[in-house]
């Protein structure tokens, strides 16, 4: 008995033969029409042959379509469907479309359908996993210095910061009537410059990542910019820029700051059982008087209003009371922490043995170029079908020489505490 597949093969062969016959008839018809000696009867016969051949083709093609649908139905019934395929087939069925048109679902009790499907796909990750957006990178610390410093920009066609530092010595004094002051005031002004620092980072990204997971490539770009800002934030405090060996590095606040000196603060061995709150207050005093040995001079003063410390240090003293029963670090209702009248800023960018206090506004960050990402191909990127993503930034920190007196740095909390604490003999 002839199988459906064999019958399809036979019908396809018959269609091919009919198509060949039609082609031959059409060729003969064209030749007859062109011939001036062709007879009407021959032309009519040729036309009828062509029409008959086309009718045979249409009949055979119709039968083939019916048979093909039947075979497809047999295959669909015997092949296991996934749940997704079964539901899709149900929705595409004529029965479902008719029920939808006739509003069969709105009748009392609605209408139910039975579908047969394989449940093996329920263990496949793709069908049972909801992917969350983005990429989860390790969390970074918060910026500590950038948000709290003044910021400026270096304009077009400029590549460094210029400023003028001056000194003025006054010889003001009494004079008699009609007399002149024999002494002239002295003034000087010196131009100074600060070169911009440039930092960069690179990473390789394949073409497949852009094609298959573009959101990951986008997240990498954002992460590069975040890391660039963290690098700048860290270097603002600890950068090793200097005029001689590293003029194109960031000039860090630690290097620019004035070291805490109990003598200049006028508090050498002056405090009974000093704690870190007393030390912070002593740092503020040093900023306000600059140098106790010049107490009667006209030297300026600085109002220290922020103090930076490690979170471990902050926690320790936020839970420690001074002899008067008050916490050394006070926390306001809005979460702001204060010590010695200065706002406490916690950051792991500072060590647990360090303290840094300053008058905000004395240091300024200048940008020539904010962090930007560039994507291109270098070296053998083309042959490896990959790209290089590069992050660039250009910036610099400026604290003018005189203003360095308004930045006070403690390298060793214990040693600084010892320097302001009364000795045993003095305490007695």
Question: Is the Cβ–Cβ distance between 205 and 135 less than 8 Å?
Answer: no
* 8 A C-beta contact, residue 46 and residue 25: yes
Inform me whether the pLDDT recorded for 86 exceeds 80: no
Q: Identify whether residues 262 and 379 lie together within a single domain.
A: yes
- Residue pointed to by tokens 């792991």: 348
184 inside domain: no
* Region 273-280 average pLDDT: 91
Same domain, 245 and 338: yes
Tell me, yes or no, whether 104 lies in a domain. Answer: no
pLDDT tens-place string over residues 307-345: 999 999 999 988 888 888 888 998 899 989 999 999 999
- Kindly state whether residue 40 falls inside one of the protein's structural domains: yes
For the segment 208-219, the average pLDDT, to the nearest whole number, is: 76
For 423, residues 6+ apart whose C-beta sits below 8 A from its C-beta are 269
Parallel, antiparallel or unpaired: strands 364-376 and 386-398 = antiparallel
Residue 386 has pLDDT above 80, yes or no: yes
> Poorest-confidence range of 80-89, 246-255, 291-300, 353-362?
80-89
Question: 69 and 152 in one domain?
Answer: no
Q: What CA–CA distances, in Å, run from 64 to 9, 14, 75, 145, 292?
A: 10, 11, 16, 79, 108
Q: Which of 70-84, 172-186, 210-224 has the lowest mean pLDDT?
A: 70-84
Ranges assigned E (strand) in 298-347: 306-309, 330-331, 337-339, 342-346
pLDDT, averaged across the chain = 82
In a domain, 280, yes or no: yes
Whether 24 and 150 map to the same domain: the answer is: no
Return the pLDDT at 372. 85
Number of domains in the chain: 2
Domain boundary among 36, 52, 79: 79
Q: Is residue 392 part of a domain?
A: yes
pLDDT of res. 107: 58
**Percent of the chain residues topping a pLDDT of 70:** 77
Residue where one domain finishes, among candidates 79, 111, 137 = 79
Which tokens go with 365?
């960050």
Asked if the structure places residue 298 within a domain, the reply is yes
Map tokens 């929705």 to a residue: 91
C-beta of residue 344 within 8 angstroms of C-beta of residue 337: yes
Taking CA atoms, 332 is separated from 277, 311, 320, 338, in Å, by 17, 17, 16, 8
- Alpha helices (H) along 290-380: 311-318
pLDDT exceeds 50 at position 78? no
**Do 209 and 74 share a structural domain?**
no
Same domain, 330 and 233: yes
- Quick one: 68 and 152 in the same domain? no
Provide the CATH number for the domain around residue 295.
3.30.2320.10
Where a domain ends, among 79, 99, 134? 79
pLDDT confidence of residue 60? 66
pLDDT surpasses 80 at 239: yes
- Look at residue 114 and tell me if it is in a domain: no
Of 112, 123, 120, residue with least CA distance to 82: 120
Please tell me whether residues 213 and 307 are part of one structural domain: yes
- 394, part of any domain: yes
pLDDT (0 to 100) of residue 52: 74
Q: Which of 81-90, 212-221, 245-254, 373-382 has the highest mean pLDDT?
A: 245-254
Structural domain for 12, as ranges? 4-79
Find out whether 74 and 14 touch, Cβ atoms under 8 Å: no
């Amino acid at each position: 008995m002839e199988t459906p597949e064999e019958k399809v093969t036979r019908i396809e062969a018959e269609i091919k033969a009919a198509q060949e016959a039609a082609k031959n008839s059409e060729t003969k018809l064209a030749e007859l029409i062109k011939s001036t000696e062709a007879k009407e009867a021959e032309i009519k016969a040729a036309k009828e042959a062509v029409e008959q051949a086309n009718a045979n083709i249409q009949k055979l093609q119709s039968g083939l379509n019916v048979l093909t649908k039947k075979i497809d139905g047999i295959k669909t019934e015997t092949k296991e469907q996934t749940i997704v395929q079964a539901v899709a087939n149900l929705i595409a069925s004529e029965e479902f479309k008719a029920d939808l048109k006739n509003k069969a679902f709105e009748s009392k009790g609605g209408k139910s359908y039975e579908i047969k499907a394989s449940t093996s796909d329920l263990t496949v990750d793709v069908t049972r996993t909801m992917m969350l957006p983005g990429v989860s990178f390790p969390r970074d610390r918060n910026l500590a210095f950038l948000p709290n410093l003044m910021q400026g920009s270096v304009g077009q066609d400029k590549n460094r910061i210029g400023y003028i530092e001056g000194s003025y010595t006054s010889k003001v004094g009494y004079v008699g009537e009609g007399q002149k002051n024999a002494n002239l005031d002295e003034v000087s002004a010196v131009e100074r410059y600060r070169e911009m620092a440039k930092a960069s980072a690179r990473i390789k990204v394949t073409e497949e990542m852009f094609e298959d997971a573009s959101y990951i490539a986008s997240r990498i770009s954002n992460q590069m910019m975040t890391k660039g800002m963290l690098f700048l934030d860290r270097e603002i405090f600890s950068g090793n820029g200097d005029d001689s060996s590293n003029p194109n590095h960031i000039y860090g606040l630690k290097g620019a700051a004035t070291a805490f000196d109990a003598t200049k603060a006028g508090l050498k061995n002056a405090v009974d059982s000093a704690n870190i709150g007393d030390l912070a207050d002593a740092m503020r005093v040093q900023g306000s008087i600059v140098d106790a040995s010049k107490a009667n001079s006209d030297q300026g003063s600085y109002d220290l209003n922020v103090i930076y410390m490690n979170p471990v240090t902050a926690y320790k003293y936020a839970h420690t009371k001074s002899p008067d029963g008050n916490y050394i670090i006070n926390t306001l209702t809005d979460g702001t922490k204060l010590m010695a009248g200065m706002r406490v800023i916690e950051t792991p960018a500072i060590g647990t043995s360090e303290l840094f206090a300053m008058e905000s506004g004395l240091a300024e960050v200048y940008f020539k170029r904010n962090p930007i990402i560039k994507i291109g191909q270098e070296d053998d990127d083309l042959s490896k079908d990959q790209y290089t993503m590069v992050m660039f930034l250009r910036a610099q920190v400026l604290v003018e020489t005189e203003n360095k007196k308004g930045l006070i740095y403690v390298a060793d909390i214990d040693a600084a505490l010892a320097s302001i604490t009364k000795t045993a003999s003095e305490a007695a």
